[in-house]
Amino acid sequence: MNYATIKKHDIANGLGVRVSLFVSGCTHHCKGCFNPETWDFNYGKEFTPEVQEEVIKALAPDYISGLSLLGGEPFEPSNQAALVPFLRKVKQLYPTKDIWCYSGYNFESDMLTGKLGDASVTDEMLSYIDILVDGEFVESLKDVSLRFKGSSNQRIIDVQASLATDNLVLWDGESNIDRKDIAGGSIDCCGCGE
């Protein structure tokens, strides 16, 4: 798998300060995509063990809330194969840090039905993801006022609650943050800088 970039202090793609990994390769080709260069699976650099260690080290500070996966498309089957062992290691090392993932695929009709290659790999990848922003970006539904998503058709899903209840559970915007951290000023809860 290749990756386009790594942002080690990202406040736009999930709660708090995050490390964001932008993978290469996407077959959606959404009109108006902000990252069309990442459609190419060969774009960027190889996601080597050394790069993985760099990301793992960047996650270490206490002020880092977690990891965000973007693209490209993290749930492309070839990307899943590379990401699952990496995510397994991240969760083992940092069980209290959350993982967000942005995908153009649909949670129920694509991810839970085995349409994305080896269902056991997809299931394991989902087991490590806390929050999923699903659905293709639709330019005609673009809304810059939306929090953590680009178009109004996209959903922010609490993956673990959804899997546990076998029902879709949308993220309530509060469930995985500690309110005392916000009050104490250690978390920038919405990326606004205030």
Tens of pLDDT, residues 177-187: 443 333 333 33
| Assigned token pair, 114 | 């085995």
Mean pLDDT of the chain: 89
The residues spanned by each domain of the chain are: 2-173
User: In the structure encoding, which two tokens stand for residue 181, read together?
Assistant: 């951290």
| Each residue's pLDDT tens digit, 114-150 | 999 999 999 999 999 999 999 999 999 999 999 999 9
Question: Which of 21, 35, 24, 36 minimizes the C-alpha distance to 73?
Answer: 24
The CATH homologous superfamily to which domain 2-173 belongs is Aldolase class I (3.20.20.70)
C-alpha span between 35 and 145 (Å, rounded): 20
Question: How many CB atoms sit inside 10 A of residue 165's CB?
Answer: 10
Indicate whether this model's pTM tops 0.85: yes
What is the DSSP code string of 76-135? SHHHHHHHHHHHHHHHHH-TTSEEEEEESS-IIIIITTTTTS-HHHHHHHHHH-SEEEES
- Residue for token pair 């953590």: 148
